[in-house]
Amino acid sequence: MRAAILLLFLLAFSHSQAQSKAGAPPPITPRQIAAALLTTSQPQEQTALQAKVVRLFGLNNLTQGRAGAKIEATTVAWAVIDPKPARVVQQDGTLIGDMIALGADGLQVLVADMPNFTEFGYRVESEGMPRLAGTVHVEHYDYTADSQPQPGVPQGRLEKFEWKTSQVFPDTVRDVTVYLPAGFQPGEETCLMVWQDGSRHVDPTGSMRAAVVFDNLIHQKDMPRTVGVFIDPGRKPKQKPGDKAANRSLEYDSIGDAYARFLIDEILPEVEQRYQTKFRPQPEAWAIAGGSSGGICAFTVAWERPDKFRKVLSWVGSFVDLKGGHVYPSLIRLTERKPLRIYLLDGENDLDNKFGNWPLANQQMAAALKYMNYDFRIDWTQCFHGSKGMAPSLPAALRWLWRDVK
């Protein structure tokens, strides 16, 4: 029986792969599965749906009990291959739903709408025996038009280079992506915005879509013409691109001027030389951004070098005791106010662990900034740790940061 099931899905998977190579549409989504379950009745339609589900979850994952839940907005889909009826329950035993068989060959699915901003453990059971388990993290926001390409809006271009000769952080390699606004001319004087964890934030198809937001806001004249420098954290030479960067915490979480020196003495001169950029000399024209450890890094750079950077964008910032950053709220209160403009974003579902409580740490930062009469703003949300909460708020944040720079 199991051999027959495996053969069926091998054939279905091979068929779906062939279609994919021939330019088939993207994999089916959880909501599309839900709609198809209501309308599919003919054997040919059911076979096609089976193939799409297998492609979405992965044949190896399904046959080995490793097919984790798929999430689209607030809709969650589960799948399993098992000849016996299966169901999905929460970690505490609460039934989410019984799975629906797709044909008589063992593939079963369940699609359910879950409350937004929820996180829960689940397991898939067959006759009371667990088949797989995992965690679902539901966090959905709607983008505004400013985070989507708009007709008639010129697009900037993205250039990329690798940096592996750092003196500040020796024995590291990293990618740097440079956003040049539409119509950029060599020697043109522009504002500057540096981003940590750069590659994923500048990706026009990613979550943050910073390049798209830059295009729209520059076109609308809601932010000045700005060159964006999107820098990845350093990885060790033996690491592959895409691996978790081994040097990230050292670079981002450490207090002190090392990362500022890395930017000012190494990366920015390289950008100027490579692309003939010319950054405005006024520090009000220089901004820096990052999330999590990248957020505290952005603040540290401006704190150490307000003569260069005056604008900070930080979300779910790690102002906790990873490498001493928990001292900032007290330090802000004890230090003469610096000419900085600071945007913070965090939420009630952010991290709480042995290093500290992220929501509390960001609230303490905001309280200290308010006490010292800084030009600051904090947006409080229901976000979890990560960039999903920041992404739809990016246009408003950038308008606020750049509001008096033309």
Q: Which residue has the tokens 């993290």?
A: 137
Q: How confident is the model at residue 44 (pLDDT cuts 50, 70, 90)?
A: confident
Q: State how beta strands 118-126 and 86-90 pair.
A: antiparallel
Tell me: the pLDDT tens digits for 70-118? 999 999 999 999 999 999 999 999 999 999 999 778 999 999 999 999 9
Tokens 């940061």 label which residue?
A: 401
What's the pTM?
0.91
28 vs 306: CA distance, rounded Å: 49
> Are 345 and 335 in contact, with CB atoms under 8 Å apart?
no
pLDDT at 62 over 60: yes
Instruction: With a cut of 90, say whether residue 389 has pLDDT above it.
Output: yes
Question: What share of the chain has pLDDT > 90, as a percent?
Answer: 88
- CA neighbor of 298 nearest in space, from 239, 364, 231, 240: 231
Q: How far is CA 357 from CA 136, 258, 349, in A?
A: 22, 26, 10
Assess whether pLDDT exceeds 60 at residue 153: yes
Instruction: Note the pLDDT of residue 24.
Output: 66
255-264 per-position pLDDT tens digit: 999 999 999 9
Domains and CATH numbers, the chain: 2-84+98-112 (no CATH), 145-401 (3.40.50.1820)
Q: What would the pLDDT profile of 208-219 be if each residue is shown by its tens digit? A: 999 999 999 999
Average per-residue pLDDT for the chain: 93
